[in-house]
Amino acid sequence: MTVPPSDDRQPPPINHKGPSAARDYQHHTIWTPEMVQLDIPFAGVARRFIARLVDEFLVWGFILGLLVVSVYSGIFLAALLESQSTVLGRFRDELFLLILIAVVLAVLVIKFIYYACFHAFNNGQTPGKMVTNIRLVTDRVGRANLWTCCIRSVVDFIDMALLSGVISFLMILVHKQEKRIADLASGTIVILNDVPPNPGP
C-alpha cells in the first residue's frame, strides 16, 4: 500500500470575526499567541460623537448645578459680610474671586475624574459609550489601566480647550485606526463593545 507523502505545511491561521464585524466598519487586526487573527471593528465617528454628546451633557449638567449652588452661596456670604461692620466686609470682591477660582478648578477635576475613572473602572465605558455600545481599549485590545486613562483625559482636555476638538474629529476621519490626539498619546482605540477583550500577557 502506497503511503501518501506527508504535508509539513502549517495550517492557515484562524480568522475570527465577531458578530459586529460588519462590512461598513473599519477593522483593527491583531494576532494572538495562538496565531488566531482577530479583526476588531472600530466604533466609527458617529457613535463616538453621540457618546461624547451624552457624556458632555451629563458632565455639564452636574457642573451647572454646582455653579448655581456656588452663586447662591457667594451672594449669601457677600450679604453676610456687607452687614458686618468688620474688616471681613472689605474682602467681598476677593471672596467672589476665590469662588470663581474654586469653580474653575472644580470643572477641571470633575471632567478629569469622570472620563478617567469611568474608562479605567467601567470596562472602558463612560455612560455615553454605554448608550452607543462602544468602549475604550488599548492597542492590543486589552483593558486600559488608570494611568493610561489619566494620560488620555489630560491630553483630551488640552485638545478640547485649545483646539475645540476639531483636529481630533478630523483625525478620526482620516486615521486608519480612527485615533484622536488623546488616543495617540495614550495608546488606545475605541471599538464596538461586543468584542471580548484580549487578556494580554
Is residue 195 within 8 A of residue 146, CB to CB? The reply is: no
- Residue 88 domain-assigned (yes or no): yes
User: pLDDT tens digit string along 116-157?
Assistant: 999 999 999 999 999 999 999 998 888 999 999 999 999 998
Residue 77 to residue 71: CA distance in whole angstroms = 10
- No. of helices (H) and no. of strands (E), the chain: 6, 5
| Mean of the per-residue pLDDT values of the chain | 79
State the pLDDT at residue 101: 85
**Closest CA relative to residue 151, chosen from 201, 180, 178, 112:** 112
Residue 157 to residue 80: CA distance in whole angstroms = 37
- Counted domains in the chain: 1
Instruction: Tell me the one-letter amino acid at 7.
Output: D
| Torsion 154-157-163-168 (CA) sign | positive
Mean pLDDT of 57-66: 92
- Residue 8 domain-assigned (yes or no): no
Residue 15 to residue 37: CA distance in whole angstroms = 5
- Residue 103 domain-assigned (yes or no): yes
User: pLDDT tens digit string along 160-201?
Assistant: 888 778 888 888 888 888 999 999 999 999 999 875 544 444
- Residue 107 domain-assigned (yes or no): yes
- Residue 10 domain-assigned (yes or no): no
C-alpha cell at 60: 455639564
- Residue 6 domain-assigned (yes or no): no
- Residue 11 domain-assigned (yes or no): no
Q: Which residues of 92-101 are buried (b: 16+ CB within 10 A; e: fewer)?
A: beeeeeebee
State the pLDDT at residue 84: 60
pLDDT: which is higher, 14 or 141: 141
- Residue 197 domain-assigned (yes or no): no
Q: How many residues does the chain have?
A: 201
- The yes-or-no verdict on residue 8 having pLDDT over 70 is no
Per the structure, the complete domain to which residue 55 belongs is given by 16-192
